[in-house]
């Protein structure tokens, strides 16, 4: 039986429903499901193009590793990325020397891709494949409009939450 998530932007009062890809990304889908709810400050992608995401501390008992990866996510894809703190503490991410999210050994980036023509290429690191663990099945159009508003109006004060939708 399929498992579903509710993905919400709180200040914009919008959410969508996503189905976990248990057959394609079983380890990642299970790790995310067990950790829900996951919530944090939303950010808009700088490199990928049509992406919003939040950063949360590592939550899996065992890191899922690479599965169902892509560097060209499509609208509605939910992706999981695992980074070391040093991966994100770069000038391209807005940090100066010695700054950045050093308080966490591992950082998980949970991303929603809401439009076309995304390419996961980072000038500092090269290709950054993500595990596609879910797909939006309802509410993408309204959610995409809110994501675009984050790009145009800013992300300050906005929270992105992933929760079970049973």
Confidence check: pLDDT of 40 > 60: yes
Task: Tell me what pLDDT residue 92 has.
Answer: 57
- The residues near 88 (Cβ < 8 Å, ≥ 6 apart) are 55, 95, 100, 101, 107
Contact criterion met (CB below 8 Å) for 88 and 64? no
Number of folded domains in the chain? 1
Kindly report the average pLDDT of the chain as a whole number. 91
Average of per-residue pLDDT across 44-65: 93
Query: In this predicted model, what pLDDT tens digit does every residue of 71-118 receive, in sequence order?
Result: 999 999 999 999 886 666 555 555 555 555 555 568 899 999 999 999
Task: Tell me what pLDDT residue 123 has.
Answer: 77
Q: What 3-state DSSP class applies to 49?
A: coil
Task: Tell me what pLDDT residue 53 has.
Answer: 96
Between CA 154 and CA 151 the distance in angstroms is 6
Q: What is the model's pTM?
A: 0.91
Nearest to 73 by CA among 45, 48, 42: 48
Domain carrying residue 84? 4-164
Question: Of residues 63 and 98, which shows the higher confidence score?
Answer: 63
Task: Tell me what pLDDT residue 108 has.
Answer: 94
Contact criterion met (CB below 8 Å) for 118 and 75? no
Contact criterion met (CB below 8 Å) for 134 and 21? yes
Q: How far is C-alpha 164 from the chain's CA centre?
A: 16
CATH number, domain with residue 114: 2.40.100.20
Q: How confident is the model at residue 48 (pLDDT cuts 50, 70, 90)?
A: confident
Average of per-residue pLDDT across 8-30: 98
Task: Tell me what pLDDT residue 166 has.
Answer: 78
Task: Tell me what pLDDT residue 106 has.
Answer: 84
Task: Tell me what pLDDT residue 126 has.
Answer: 86
Task: Tell me what pLDDT residue 120 has.
Answer: 94
DSSP state of 153: H
Contact criterion met (CB below 8 Å) for 115 and 2? no
């Amino acid at each position: 039986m399929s498992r579903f998530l509710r993905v919400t932007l709180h200040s914009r009062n919008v959410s969508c429903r996503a189905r976990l890809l248990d057959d394609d990304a079983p380890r990642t889908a299970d790790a995310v499901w067990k950790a829900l709810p996951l919530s944090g400050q939303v950010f808009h992608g700088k490199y990928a193009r049509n992406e919003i995401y939040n950063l949360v501390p590592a939550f899996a008992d065992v890191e899922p590793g690479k599965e169902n990866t892509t560097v060209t996510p499509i609208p509605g894809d939910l992706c999981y990325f695992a980074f070391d703190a040093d991966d994100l503490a770069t000038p391209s991410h807005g940090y100066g020397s010695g700054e950045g999210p050093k308080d966490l050994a591992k950082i998980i980036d949970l991303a929603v891709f809401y439009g076309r023509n995304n390419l996961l290429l980072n000038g500092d690191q090269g290709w950054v494949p993500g595990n596609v663990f879910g797909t939006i099945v309802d509410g993408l159009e309204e959610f995409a409009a809110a994501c675009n508003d984050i790009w145009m109006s800013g992300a300050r004060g906005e929270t992105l939450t992933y929760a079970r939708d049973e």
